[in-house]
Structure formats: C-alpha cells, structure tokens
Amino acid sequence: MLFRSKLYGIFAAGRPTLYVGEPESEGGWLLREHNCGRALPTATGPSLATAIVESWKDSGGRLVQGANARRLAEEGSLANCAAAFAKVFRTQLGADR
C-alpha cells in the first residue's frame, strides 16, 4: 500500500496521529484499522485540546500507536510496493516456478 498523503511522512516518523477529518475517510480508516492514531471529525479548540491531553496521558498507548505507524510506513514503502509488483510480474511470466 503506497500512501499519497501527508500521513505517510507522519507514519514514517513513528508518531501517533491526530487527524482532523471524516473518521470514515481513508485517513480515518488507516488510523483506526492500524491503531496508529485518532480521527477527529471537527477541529474545535476544546475538542482538539482534549484529544491532545488524552493522548499525552496515555504514554503506553502513544508508544504502541507510534510503533504501529512506523510499521505501516515501512510496509507501504515504495521499495516494498515495487517488490510486490515485481513478484506478481515474475509469477505471471512463470519466472517463479
């Protein structure tokens, strides 16, 4: 999976993400599916402050989410995507038999 958004760089840094946007969007789905952050549907000052404080208080959760983010970035790297495509081509051409 190759990400075409700013999330890829954040994930590569190994940091959990507070994403302001629709929780059902691709960004929200990635955060939820891979447990690497949280999506906030709106960005009011109080809701954002609450989310930041909650994240800060949960240091264990932050570490897990950061590690999950880094792993996701590594799995979605261009090199891994290219290797996966190359394997498909080799298989289709019969080179992997």
Mean of the pLDDT values across residues 49-74? 93
Range from 17-21, 40-44, 75-79 that averages highest in pLDDT = 17-21
Mean of the pLDDT values across residues 71-90? 71
Q: What does the alpha-carbon distance between residue 10 and residue 44 come to, in Å, rounded to a whole number?
A: 22
- Cα separations in angstroms, 31 against 3, 42, 91: 13, 16, 33
If you ran DSSP here, which 8-state letter would residue 23 be given? T
CB 6, CB 31: distance < 8 Å: no
pLDDT more than 90, % of the chain: 35
CB 68, CB 29: distance < 8 Å: no
pTM of the model: 0.71
Q: Would you state the pLDDT for residue 3?
A: 45
